[in-house]
Structure 1
Amino acid sequence: MREGPDIARIASLVGDPARANMLTALMGGTALTASELALEAGVSLPTASSHLSKLMEGGLLTLASQGRHRYYGLAG
């Protein structure tokens, strides 16, 4: 089997509309908080946190802490 990204796994992560909206919001290059991403995705903060955890586990996001805020960005 060839090494490389697991396309099916990535597709399942991106295929969810809320997660797709979050990723689209991050394509502008600016890191955003979970609250900002929840607003962009049209979901509650707890739902956004669940989606963000899945995207982090999938290696699609980075996380940077600044004071009490946590900023999510696209992994490179």
Structure 2
Amino acid sequence: MSEINKKICNLIAEEWISKAKSNRAFALDHNIDEKTVRKILQKDGYEIPLITLIRICEAKEMKLSTFFKLLNI
């Protein structure tokens, strides 16, 4: 399960957080806490709660199924 967590966090970090103005800006734009953004950026595979993933996808106007297709798993 840890490998999946790493893939999820890496995708969010590399594709979206890295392109945001700041961690704080990403957090505000996606209705999550800045502390959560820092946890996602950690390299140890943060277990992202489903509600957090849902909030990020809603802010991106993306379905969860589309997000998981991006993971190629």
For the aligned pair, the TM-score class normalised by the smaller chain equals 0.3 to 0.5
Larger radius of gyration: 1
Higher strand proportion, which one? 1
Q: When the two structures are superposed, what TM-score results if normalisation uses the length of structure 1?
A: 0.33
The structure whose residues are more often helix, as a share, is: 2
